[in-house]
Structure 1
């Protein structure tokens, strides 16, 4: 009888102690709050929606208009006679608009070839932390360009579709830390018209973009897009490196590059300068955002 009573008392004590520990754990969880286990999306992998000339994995946000002015000057290796390339200027003027948190559309016009371009950018996967976290972001982009410059003679052999080029792009990127982000972006480009009959209409490339944060408002960025197949004869791989400088609603990108083109068709198939031989152009991108539709 004593053994049964002792066993019963021991079981009750164990049950009470377990209940107390469970209650204490619940109290601790309440004190920590729900934020400690909340899923958080990773932001600000790049300061801008572009690395330099390539798209980045960043988005501008719903209801936000990004007005973009891009300049590429002449090569600096000509020296003082053309003010290190500043006498020559190529320009693109564009508007990007956030239809949603993960959806952006944009249009632009470049003075080179008098070219119009547009794109749709969508993010099905965003890097996150916490429960069900995803270690990287995935972004899909489709775009096209229209060359409005007059065709050479005889003009009657050309049709409107000869002005068109199309590209599809996938960005896979990760913000590894507050100081470092890296992305890969394979690109497929199709041109309806190429300069010579022996040239390839299809071009495949693999872009690499990186960012190293230097201070709270500045970062060093690199944008490199080697062509893997379908290279336009005589062209080089576009490379750009420079600095992002954030000043309130503006983001300045000051950089050096061998590319004059400012959309995918242009910088993949018209870059003829060799960066490593000093055929480098100074350029800048200016981004100014405006909130058109405020959050409710």
Structure 2
């Protein structure tokens, strides 16, 4: 409507061509909007690994993760349900783009801490960018006493580090994908032939089934695996269910661990051999600060 009024006013002052030229100049100088794309994934995890998503500023999230034993253990082990590995964690968003987390896993009695920083957000419109890029870093400390008492390792010997670049794109309202180049460093190794530095590439996707349910898949390919273990690449399929403040994930995976150094480098089960672990992630978010005004992001 405004453009029409301006065009008629210019037309009354001169020729049609001059009016069109002047209107074009006004359009070129007018600001264009930039819309950030949100909800690439429903939660902060694809399945085992992190997604590009962060919680909103001031949000404290409590996460409980379970992985049971292998389904092919049979009825004597209730198809793996008699065995359990659990991780619980607290994750806090200091800003919309930066979050910290700490957790503890029963497997190898491991403590871990991480940060995740959203470097670039996917956007449309002016100066659009086709993907969201986040930086992830974590440190894990294994405390299980699985060593010879006469050869006790020191603190640094039991540390593991992970660095990732998470690259996610929402291709359409119903489909998202993610690539996760990964570097893992082990301060100590089991045998001399084991690499201290391991490189891997993760692939993840999300397919929207409804407003509250998505189907996810995740795969990590390890380029230089450990020699001391007969390892397999981590594979997982799952369903995300959103219910109010909860995101509930049901997962089938050949990995029993839930931190990067474990499921990326130490998975020993073959998914298609029946070495499948049923598990779940459940989270509850609490708002610890004032709510931010709703922005113009496109869901």
TM-score normalised over the length of structure 1: 0.88
Query: Aligned-pair distance for 1:15?
Result: 2.3
How far apart are residue 94 of structure 1 and its match? 0.5
Q: Give the Cα–Cα distance (whole angstroms) in 1 for the partners of residues 42 and 12 of structure 2.
A: 59
The alpha-carbon deviation at position 151 of structure 1 amounts to 4.2
Q: Quote the residue 1:284 is aligned against.
A: 280
Contact 1:202–1:230 (CA<8 Å) still a contact in 2?
no
Indicate the residue corresponding to 2:208 in structure 1.
213
Match of 1:250 in 2: 246
Which one has the largest radius of gyration? 1
8 Å contact 1:126–1:138 — kept in the other structure?
A: yes
Match of 1:3 in 2: none
Deviation of 1:160 (Å): 1.1
Pairs within 5 Å for 1:134-283? 134-232=129-227, 233-283=229-279
Per the TM alignment, residue 21 of structure 1 is displaced from its structure 2 partner at its CA by 5.2
Q: Could you tell me how far 1:225 is from its partner in structure 2?
A: 0.6
Larger helix percent: 1
What aligned pairs does 1:35-74 form with structure 2 within 5 A after superposition?
37-74=32-69
Q: Is the 8 A contact 1:98 1:105 kept in 2?
A: yes
Provide the rounded CA distance (Å) in 2 between the counterparts of 1:13 and 1:91: 75
- Given that 1:76 and 1:279 are in contact with CA atoms closer than 8 Å, whether structure 2 keeps it comes out as yes
1:27-72 CA-partner distances (Å, limit 9, x unpaired): 9x8xxx97xx311110001001100111101111111011100000
Query: What secondary structure sits across from 2:262 in the alignment?
Result: helix
Using the TM superposition, give the Cα deviation of residue 89 of structure 1 relative to its aligned residue in structure 2, in angstroms. 0.7
What is the CA-CA distance between 1:231 and the residue it aligns to? 3.1
Rounded Cα–Cα distance in structure 2 between residues aligned with 1:136 and 1:249: 26
1:19 and 1:255, CA in 2 relative to 1: closer, same or farther beyond 3 A?
same
Bigger shift: residues 63-72 or 268-277:
268-277
Which deviates more from structure 2 when the two are superposed, residues 144-153 or residues 179-188? 144-153
User: Secondary structure of 1:229's match?
Assistant: coil
Q: CA RMSD for the aligned pairs? A: 2.2
Contact preservation (8 Å) 2:222, 2:265? no
CA drift at 1:26:
9.9
Equivalent position of 2:3 in the other structure: none
- TM-score of the aligned structures, taking structure 2 as reference length: 0.87
Q: Which residue of 1 aligns with 2:295?
A: none
Flag structure 2 segments of 5+ consecutive residues without an equivalent: 1-10, 293-299
